[in-house]
Chain A
Amino acid sequence: MQPTSELGRPELKARTFRSMGTVVSLTVPVGPEGWTADAEATLAAAAGAVERRFQELDIRFSLYRPGSEASRLARGELPLWEASPEFRECYAEAAEWRLQTEGAFTPERPDGLPDLSGLVKGFAIKEAAALLQSRGLSHWCLNAGGDVLVAGSPVAGSPASWQAGIVDPLDRTALIAAYPLGGCTGGSPGLRALATSGSAERGDHIWTQGAGGSEFRQVSVAAADIITADVLATAIVAGGASMLNRATDVWDVDVFAVLNDGGILATPGFRA
């Protein structure tokens, strides 16, 4: 991997908006011609399109909005087979992930109600990526509350990776590790998505298997796509070491897990 530092600090521009209870950041590199009015307008329009897609999905899937499709379903007012195609597609994907993870990831709460909040942020990021691609943007980084998907490079036209930092769960003002996302070094593109789940975070709907709590305080997964990264990070927090080993066996992923005692388990991609 070519360190970004060798190319000098990349010059970037970002736009942020609130959605799904968190903040979403869209970051793009400044091109060789500098930060022009055109570039500014392109970023503003792209961020606007991404924000609209996030809000549409939030209105449909949020359990915090009493009128949402998810809430009507949870109250029993709407049967699953009468839900929108988008909702059913998301539910079907979540159910498939439950099979793939042998139950460690589930689209249902312990009381049996459908809960797609573990999937919808990843789903929104994936949809946003399609929007950005259709607008001709080939270098960008989208970060939604700590789940990250990138395209291209932070230095347009270079093979450099986006450098992602992982928050230290024991000291949230510090980083515990780095991971190179995207780019194209040695002719092979890097993994593009990185998601992190924690066992102690408010808003993370993770139900551990078995009686005890999670043996992991925080789990980060790098994968080719954001849904795989997001689902497996959640599944490993819930399913523990056996799910971690299953994930690294079955999928092309890198995993960085922080144990409750502060110890680290990581695949070779995270080794210095």
Chain B
Amino acid sequence: MANTASAVGTAATGSGGAGAGTSGSTGSGSTGNAAGTGGTFAGDVVQTRFGPVQVQITVSGGTISDVTALQLTDDGGRSVQISNYAAPLLREEVLQAQSANVQTISGATVTSDAYLTSLQAALDAAHL
């Protein structure tokens, strides 16, 4: 059962839509074991780039009635956004950088001439 719950959890997490995960998993065999009984089942903890992820499903009457996130925090205990969707951010919500504490700089292609006055040129000069 743990495997089933884990698979269900992964599907529901990956799709980001509880509807798709629920209908898919109902047909895939949870009815056989859980029909008429119900209960809650915790999936395995899955390591992702965003931190450990674990979900719990609630089964009643042979169908999944709820999917809950049990563990959605990163190493620092902050909550984790599972979806990698690009969302609007304010400038102050972004990881901040100053040229004094970065080792390299990414920007749209600079020409050799533009390089001379670029922040990367200043970093390189400091490391010659």
Would you list 21 pairs from A and B whose C-beta atoms are within 8 A, ordered by A residue? Answer: A4-B103, A12-B103, A14-B127, A22-B115, A23-B110, A146-B105, A164-B103, A166-B105, A167-B105, A175-B119, A176-B94, A179-B106, A186-B75, A194-B106, A197-B108, A218-B108, A244-B86, A254-B84, A255-B86, A269-B84, A271-B89
A-B contact count (CB 8 A): 191
Contact of B103 among A27, A185, A268 (CB under 8 A): A27
Q: Smallest CB–CB gap between B85 and chain A, Å?
A: 6
Residues on A with C-beta less than 8 A from B96 are 177-178, 272
A162 within 8 A of B: yes
Residues on A with C-beta less than 8 A from B92 are 272
Given contacts A177-B96, A203-B111, contact A163 B88 (CB under 8 A): no
- Chain B residues 46-75 with CB under 8 Å of chain A are 47, 49-50, 75
Q: Smallest CB–CB gap between A29 and chain B, Å?
A: 9
Q: How far is the CA of A200 from the CA of B120 in the complex (A)?
A: 19
- Chain A residues 217-272 with CB under 8 Å of chain B are 218, 220, 244-245, 248-249, 252-257, 263-272
- Chain A residues 103-141 with CB under 8 Å of chain B are 121, 141
B80 within 8 A of A: yes
Given contacts A146-B120, A177-B96, contact A164 B104 (CB under 8 A): yes
How many A residues face the partner with a CB closer than 8 A? 73
Q: Which residue of B lies closest to A16 (CB)?
A: B124
Q: How far is the CA of A195 from the CA of B127 in the complex (A)?
A: 22
Q: How far is the CA of A220 from the CA of B86 in the complex (A)?
A: 12
Q: How far is the CA of A267 from the CA of B93 in the complex (A)?
A: 12
Q: Smallest CB–CB gap between B110 and chain A, Å?
A: 5
B2 within 8 A of A: no
